[in-house]
């Protein structure tokens, strides 16, 4: 039995607890597993997951589309190669017009492309075809960002898609059971409020931290790749 704390000290601590849940579900030491992190906050979590599972790790770029004037509320998301995924309930309730969606999407596409260059440089994206892909973030609130990621990854032909998060709103975790092959939410508090409420340290992850963790993760698997 995996024991999960009521709060995580930081994203690395959260990643270690999530990793144990994933090992318990049978994902450890498998040659077909690929861990994809949603930057930026999901990268430290995924780094610990990939380390424990002894799996390769990379980023999968997704950007939340925030409601104008209430940017913390997601009306949808965009993902590399996956187009736009909207949350119809939020769009309808907030009375958001198509022009507003397109304006926000243009700005987020620009940021997504910037991050693609900043994080990956000239390094090729991993090929998920035929693999068991675990998409990791630091938590799920509405799930819009993760939903866009999962749908975009699905288009690339993996054998299986699992979503792993340290903490999630219970209803969002339940909804994802119909979206992916498996959802692993280490903590699903009844009074969720926000992802950051379940971390003692929820400070922003920097671009440099993301690049450094990706370099470390790549170095772990370079020897294996060289002798393949």
> What residue ranges do the domains of the chain occupy?
11-61+128-226
What's the order of all strands across the beta sheet hosting 182-187?
57-59, 33-37, 132-136, 160-167, 182-187
Cα Rg of the chain (Å, integer): 17
The pLDDT mean for the chain works out to 90
- DSSP H helices, the chain, are 11-24, 42-53, 88-94, 98-120, 144-154, 170-175, 207-226
Task: Tell which residue, 68, 7, 53, 61, has the closest CA to residue 36.
Answer: 61
Is residue 65 pLDDT above 50, yes or no? Answer: yes
Cβ within 8 Å of residue 172, ≥6 positions away: 140, 141, 142, 143
Class of domain 11-61+128-226: alpha beta
| 152: confidence class by pLDDT, cuts 50, 70, 90 | confident
What pTM, to 2 d.p., does this model score? 0.85
Q: How many CB atoms lie within 10 A of CB 74?
A: 22
Percent over 70 (pLDDT), the chain = 94
Please check the confidence at residue 140 and state whether its pLDDT lies above 90.
Answer: yes
Q: What is the pLDDT of residue 224?
A: 47
Find the range with the poorest average confidence among 5-19, 83-97, 214-228. Answer: 214-228
- Tell me what pLDDT residue 53 has: 97
CB crowding 88-100: b at 16 or more within 10 Å, else e: eebbeebebeeeb
How confident is the model at residue 82, as a pLDDT? 64
User: What is the C-alpha separation between 41 and 203, in angstroms, rounded?
Assistant: 9
The Cα angle at residue 32 between residues 31 and 38, in degrees rounded to 5: 115
212 pLDDT exceeds 90? yes
Lowest mean pLDDT across 90-94, 161-165, 179-183, 209-213: 90-94
For residue 96 the two structure tokens come to: 């958001």
């Amino acid at each position: 039995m995996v024991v999960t704390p009521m709060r995580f000290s930081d994203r690395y601590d959260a990643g270690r607890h999530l990793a144990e849940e994933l090992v318990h579900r049978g994902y450890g030491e498998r040659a077909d597993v690929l861990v994809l992190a949603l930057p930026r906050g999901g990268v430290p979590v995924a780094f610990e997951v990939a380390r424990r599972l002894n799996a390769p790790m990379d980023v999968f770029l997704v950007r939340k589309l925030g409601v104008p004037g209430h940017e913390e509320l997601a009306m949808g998301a965009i993902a590399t190669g996956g187009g736009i995924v909207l949350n119809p309930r939020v769009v309808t309730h907030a009375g958001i017009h198509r022009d507003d969606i397109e304006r926000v999407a243009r700005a987020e596409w620009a940021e997504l492309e910037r991050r693609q260059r900043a994080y990956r440089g000239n390094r090729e994206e991993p090929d998920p075809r035929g693999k068991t892909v675990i998409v990791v973030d630091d938590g799920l609130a509405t799930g819009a960002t993760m939903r866009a990621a999962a749908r975009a990854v699905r288009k690339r032909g993996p054998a299986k898609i699992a979503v792993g998060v340290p903490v999630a709103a219970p209803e969002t975790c339940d909804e994802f059971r119909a979206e992916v092959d498996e959802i692993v939410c280490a903590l699903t508090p009844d009074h969720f409020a926000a992802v950051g409420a379940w971390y003692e340290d929820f400070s922003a992850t920097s671009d440099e931290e993301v690049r450094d963790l990706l370099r470390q993760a790549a170095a772990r698997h370079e020897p294996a790749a060289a002798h393949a």
